């Protein structure tokens, strides 16, 4: 009986958050090692289905870096990166398109359907909702077919949300001439969140958030303002690989999104715990 009461208490705690976010859009960025972890992905997609069921409007944007690198290796293509962006020539683009649009996008959608949800894959093979242009590297390096999102078909994405379906979008875009480009998944998710006027953007990572001591998972900072985050970067508390993640969060806030979260997607039901509990499990950065 005590366990049953505890479950009821959890539902009551969640009720306030559900009311607050019902009808609001949350963009969820999937990628990296999470797509390789079948158990973690299973529970994350269950979380997404729960969110849609209780009235939120989740939108999934995904990359697939590790799967792309493996597929390129299988094809005898050497991966090359410039400041974290994959140099993408014509043979590489074929691999990227096959992995993102032909495999992962379909797989994520089918997994959600099998788990009882309703999802729609929006890819260049179905309906491409991301439009952009070739990304010009500031240092002059030619990254090949790497693009930057300049617009999103908001009406298409929102129409799915109104019919209780979860849009699943790979990080690929077309330009005005119909050329396909590979897009960094973080920046693609940022563009989608901005276009939809999302209340939240959630970056699912393999760390539990921003830490005061990067080696101590217990030193996580549950919430901070954009100003506090910038100061922590200046003070050297936020450093290394966490800097570009936090800077991406700050750029997203500058574009009108209310809150950005960094959470460990490997933690079971981390998405629900972050959104529907008072304490949360990751770091929330707000304007």
Q: Which member of 186, 259, 264, 280 is catalytic?
A: 186
In terms of DSSP bridges, do strands 166-170 and 119-121 run parallel, antiparallel, or are they unpaired?
A: parallel
Give the span between the Cα atoms of 42 and 167, in whole angstroms.
17
At residue 184, φ and ψ (nearest 5 deg) are -60, 130
Give the span between the Cα atoms of 147 and 254, in whole angstroms.
21
| 280 marked as part of a ligand binding site | no
Q: Is 65 a catalytic residue?
A: yes
Q: Measure CA of the first residue to CA of the last residue in the chain; give whole Å.
A: 42
Instruction: Pull the structure tokens for residue 104.
Output: 């992962």
Q: Is 29 a catalytic residue?
A: yes
| 64 marked as part of a ligand binding site | yes
Which residue do the tokens 């298409």 mark?
156
Instruction: Pull the structure tokens for residue 191.
Output: 């563009």
Q: Is 213 a catalytic residue?
A: no
Give the span between the Cα atoms of 116 and 157, in whole angstroms.
20
Residue among 163, 64, 70 nearest 123 (CA): 64
Residues shown for the chain: 287
CB atoms within 10 A of CB 30: 24
Q: Is 24 a catalytic residue?
A: no
Q: Which member of 47, 117, 199, 245 is catalytic?
A: 245
| 86 marked as part of a ligand binding site | yes
Give the span between the Cα atoms of 37 and 200, in whole angstroms.
24
Q: Which member of 29, 209, 259, 264 is catalytic?
A: 29
Q: Which member of 31, 47, 63, 65 is catalytic?
A: 65
Instruction: Pull the structure tokens for residue 232.
Output: 């922590």
Give the span between the Cα atoms of 264 and 270, in whole angstroms.
7
Q: Which member of 32, 117, 265, 282 is catalytic?
A: 32
Q: Is 186 a catalytic residue?
A: yes
| 57 marked as part of a ligand binding site | no
Binding-site annotation: residue ranges for substrate = 64-65, 86, 182
Residue numbers annotated as active site: 29, 32, 65, 186, 245
């Amino acid at each position: 009986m005590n366990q049953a009461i505890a479950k009821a208490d959890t539902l009551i705690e969640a009720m306030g958050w559900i009311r607050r976010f019902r009808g609001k859009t949350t963009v969820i960025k999937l990628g990296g090692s999470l797509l390789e972890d079948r158990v973690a992905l299973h529970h994350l997609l269950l979380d997404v289905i729960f969110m849609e069921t209780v009235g939120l409007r989740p939108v999934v944007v995904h990359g697939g870096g590790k799967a792309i690198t493996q597929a390129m290796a299988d094809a005898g293509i050497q991966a090359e990166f410039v400041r974290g962006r994959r140099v993408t020539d014509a043979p590489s683009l074929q691999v990227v398109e096959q992995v993102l649009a032909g495999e992962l996008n379909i797989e994520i959608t089918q997994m959600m359907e099998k788990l009882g949800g309703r999802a729609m894959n929006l890819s260049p093979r179905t309906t491409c909702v991301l439009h952009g242009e070739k990304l010009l590297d500031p240092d002059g390096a030619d990254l090949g077919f790497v693009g930057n999102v300049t617009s999103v078909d908001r009406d298409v994405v929102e129409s799915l949300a109104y019919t209780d379906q979860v849009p699943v979008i790979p990080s690929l875009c077309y330009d005005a001439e119909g050329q396909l480009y590979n897009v960094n998944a973080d920046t693609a998710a940022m563009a989608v969140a901005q276009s939809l006027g999302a209340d939240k953007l959630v970056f699912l990572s393999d760390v539990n958030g921003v830490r005061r001591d990067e080696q101590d998972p217990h030193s996580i900072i549950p919430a901070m303002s954009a100003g506090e985050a910038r100061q922590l970067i200046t003070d050297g508390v936020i450093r290394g690989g966490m800097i570009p993640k936090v800077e991406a969060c700050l750029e997203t806030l500058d574009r009108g999104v209310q809150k950005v979260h960094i959470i460990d997607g490997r933690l079971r039901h981390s998405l629900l715990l972050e959104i529907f509990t008072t304490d949360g499990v990751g770091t929330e950065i707000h304007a």
